[in-house]
A and B are shown apart, each in its own frame.
Chain A
Amino acid sequence: MGLPQAKLTATEARLAALDMPKAPGWSSLARAAALARVESMGLPGRRDEYWRFTDPAELLAPAPVPAALFRGEDKPVFDDMDRVKLVFVDGVFDAEASDDPALAGVEISRLAEAQALDIHWAADLYGVLEARAQEPVERPFAALNTAFATDGVLIRATGRAEKPVNLVYLHHSESSDAVLHHVIKVEAGADLTVLENGPAAARFNKVMEVDIADGGAFHHVRVQGRDHERRAATHLFARLGRESTFKSFTMTANGALTRNECIIELTGDDAVAHVAGACVGDGSDFHHDDTVFITHDAERCESRQVFKKVLKNGATGVFQGKILVQPGAQKTDGYQISQSLLLDEDSQFLAKPELEIYADDVACSHGSTSGAIDETALFYLRSRGVPRSEAVDLMVLSFLAEAIEEIEAEAIREEITERLAQWLARHRR
């Protein structure tokens, strides 16, 4: 490895603490290739440009920092929905707590079981989008995940799914270190919704690869809440065919360290990709990073990034977002907005919005702002009798609304809004 000594040492130490799953079957080639990628890239360090705002040390240490378990009482967010629930406890599948996967009306199997079977459609996808996304920016944690994932789900939708698939990640052990890898194939014209919630583990490395064929639609809503001390590095890779749709929304509340990367390739004409995030953070031990990379490689595609962060008491928010428009991707419509609402002077927002355009007939806009609560609006609410703390909460929800509105299902939108309102009420200073 031609890596700097410090990086080499850190990478070797991390790899020494991991075991390749036994009987990886068809996944073994992909795993070996991914391991080779990790060895040649090395794990990231603070000096790497892509990790300038987020220190990866706790994500790559041989052992996770122990995380206290959530002691609150609130009901998991999607519990009232009609969905097929698949439960992982500290990264280990819990069949008893899960629903019968057949009820979703799509093919669902577990990585740990399916990789032992001879032929599987997932063999053509596992680690493939991850490998493609290593250019032009390296994503070593994703390659590490492909090499060492212990389990995950493989979902193939060939028609309209009857119910959403809800991946529930429970955290029961204070020092758990979970690595899950999901592979999702939405066939032509099919329609699938995947919901994710729960802290998962003290440290969670998760990859989801989503391949959407022509005319397919994929909806994704994720809630990262509850445990204050958990740490996570997640990657969501998506490839979109002609006239397909991808919509992803993530709500993040709590968590000591979260790095959510979303990498989308628009490869078929007239495809639409929306990715949004609403994040609320309280305290100097909160660090949240949204890193997005969208590549337009076809004509008349639309991409939209809407990221909103509310930060208080020394919390840190990061946004790195890029729109890359390849030669020939004419009539691209790209939009990116990243905003933070800083509720005090101790909190900070670090943003790096980027556009790189090699086609001449495109419309791309981006904006990034950081500001305090609008005092005039606050006075307006108070002058109607709304107490200051409630008025601030209303203003915060108002600020987050543009991101929340990206969720298409009204019931989920309302549930997320309600959860955020409850969080705000609990975190009045």
Chain B
Amino acid sequence: MLEIKNLRASLEEEGKEILKGVNLTIEAGKVHAIMGPNGSGKSTLSYVLSGRDGYEVTEGSVTLNGEDILGMEAEERAAAGLFLAFQYPVEIPGVGNMTFLRTAVNAQRKARGQEEMDAASFLKEVRAKAKELKIDAEMLKRPVNVGFSGGEKKRNEILQMAMLEPKVCILDETDSGLDVDAMKLVADGVNAMRSSDRGFLVITHYQRLLDHIVPDVVHIMVDGRIIKTGGPELALEVEKSGYADLIGEAA
């Protein structure tokens, strides 16, 4: 589904290479996790995949269902089915959460040549999905993420994901800043979206999120490369002995 081949990318301004040849294939229906120490390039990978400005891809390719996405704008990648749940969701004062969601949903539909969703069916769907994530009507009315707690912001990310129904979901450190209850709620939201035609890339520093979102494949990323790939047991290994042993092993 999402195929990353020998991806190398640098920071545009400093020219510093962050991704040094990443190879990764996410199949439909699978959850892949990427773990790694700070500064290993995990978040950069999520930004490069989703099309954030400021990075230069120097080599390699990324395709989504066979279609090259590196030449697309961020909004085109979103319409093609890519979704990034932010580590730090952005506050947008003065723009209602509901307005924002509807603008996004309809912009994607328009880009795909589908009809825009009318206000009534949109409202119905968003209310149902919000309820599952314990997001109340008040939160839907408030400006996007303004005054939201850490947990509310992450639940709001999952709500957006649920409404946009992407093909590939990238979750960047979704567990950061969450207590156990909030994490469980977010994980339930993600698990509810697991399906045979959707792939996930879960980026996390700690293993604990993977207790709740159980991955099919775990990758260890160090210094811009994936140095080891395995099953869920690999995450447990990291939890037990840290990254140092793995890094030593690879070197």
Hey, which bits of chain A sit against chain B, CB under 8 A?
374-377, 379-388, 390-391, 394-395, 397-402, 404-405
Contact = CB atoms under 8 A, between A and B. Distances in A.
Contacts of B78: 382-385
A397 B143 CA distance: 12
Given A376-B90, A399-B94, A385 B84 contact: no
A401 B94 contact: yes
Chain B interface size band reads 20 to 34
Contacts of B95: 394, 397-398, 401
B103 A398 contact: no
B216 interface: no
Interface in B76-106: 77-79, 83-84, 86, 89-90, 92-95, 100, 103-105
B108 A398 contact: no
B79 A377 contact: no
Interface stretch (B7-15, B46-54, B218-226, B232-240): B46-54
B164 interface: yes
A398 B93 contact: yes
B50 A377 contact: no
Contacts of A405: 94
A399 B108 CA distance: 24
A386 B89 CA distance: 16
A394 B92 contact: yes
22 contacts: A374-B90, A379-B52, A379-B53, A380-B89, A380-B90, A381-B92, A381-B100, A382-B75, A383-B50, A383-B74, A384-B164, A385-B107, A386-B107, A387-B75, A387-B107, A390-B103, A391-B75, A398-B92, A400-B94, A402-B93, A404-B94, A405-B94
B68 interface: no
A236 B17 CA distance: 58
Contact of A384 (B73, B93, B143, B160): B160
B100 A394 contact: yes
Say whether chain A's binding surface is mostly helix, strand, loop, or mixed.
helix
B73 A402 contact: no
> 7 closest A-B pairs (Cβ-Cβ)?
A401-B94, A385-B78, A385-B108, A384-B104, A382-B74, A380-B90, A398-B94
A404 B143 CA distance: 14
Contact of A385 (B52, B54, B79, B93): B79
B117 interface: no
Contacts of B111: 385, 387
A403 to B, nearest CB: 10
Nearest to B89: A380
Contacts of B83: 383
Contact of A377 (B84, B90, B108, B160): B90
Given A384-B108, A399-B94, 14 more contacts: A374-B90, A375-B53, A376-B90, A379-B52, A382-B51, A383-B74, A383-B77, A383-B78, A385-B104, A385-B105, A385-B111, A385-B164, A395-B92, A405-B94
Contacts of B164: 384-385
Contacts of A385: 75, 78-79, 104-105, 107-108, 111, 164
A366 to B, nearest CB: 19
Among the interface residues A379, A395, A405, which one has the most CB atoms of the partner chain B within 10 A? A379
Nearest to A400: B94
